[in-house]
Amino acid sequence: MKTQAAIAEKKSGPLRIEEVELADPGQGEVRVRIEACGICRSDLHAIDGGESVRFPAVLGHEAAGVVDALGTGAAQLAIGEQVVLSWTPACGICPACRRGEVQLCRGLKMSVGLDGPLSWNGRGLDRFMALGAFCEQVVVPAAMAIPIGGAVPSTQACLIGCAVMTGFGAATKTAGVRWGESVVVVGCGGVGLAAIQGARIAGASRIFAIDPVEERRAAALLAGASDALNASESTRQVIAATDGGVDVAIECAGKSQAMVDAFNMIRPGGRAVVVGLASLADSFSIPPILLLTEKSIKGSIYGSANPAVDFPKLVALAGQGRLDLASFVSKTRPLAEVNEGIAEMREGKPYARGHDLLRSASRRPFASRRSAPRCLGQQ
- Site residues for Zn ion per CB under 5 A: 40, 42, 91, 94, 97, 105, 162
Q: Compute the least distance from the CB of residue 293 to Zn ion, in Å.
A: 34
User: Measured between alpha carbons, how far is 149 from 27 in angstroms, rounded to an integer?
Assistant: 24
- DSSP code at position 27: T
The full length of the chain comes to: 379
> Is the CB of 40 or the CB of 47 nearer to Zn ion?
40
> Is the CB of 110 or the CB of 272 nearer to Zn ion?
110
Burial category of 99 from C-beta neighbours within 10 Å (exposed 0-12, middle 13-18, buried 19 and up): exposed
Q: What are the start-end ranges of the E strands in the chain?
A: 2-8, 15-22, 29-38, 57-58, 63-70, 82-85, 118-120, 123-124, 126-127, 137-141, 145-147, 182-186, 206-210, 227-229, 246-251, 266-274, 296-299, 329-334, 355-359
Give the CA radius of gyration of the chain: 20
**Which strand ranges, in their side-by-side order, compose the sheet holding 227-229?**
227-229, 206-210, 182-186, 246-251, 266-274, 296-299
Angle between helices 214-223 and 190-202 (to 10 degrees): 30
> Is the CB of 69 or the CB of 94 nearer to Zn ion?
94
Q: Helix or strand or coil: residue 42?
A: helix
Q: Compute the least distance from the CB of residue 282 to Zn ion, in Å.
A: 19
Q: Compute the least distance from the CB of residue 307 to Zn ion, in Å.
A: 12
Chain-centroid distance of CA 65 in Å reads 17
Q: Compute the least distance from the CB of residue 133 to Zn ion, in Å.
A: 11
For Cα atoms 228, 230, 236, give the angle at the middle one, nearest 5 degrees: 90
> Is the CB of 94 or the CB of 326 nearer to Zn ion?
94
> Is the CB of 40 or the CB of 199 nearer to Zn ion?
40
> Is the CB of 246 or the CB of 325 nearer to Zn ion?
325
Q: Compute the least distance from the CB of residue 129 to Zn ion, in Å.
A: 8
> Is the CB of 41 or the CB of 295 nearer to Zn ion?
41
> Is the CB of 133 or the CB of 184 nearer to Zn ion?
133
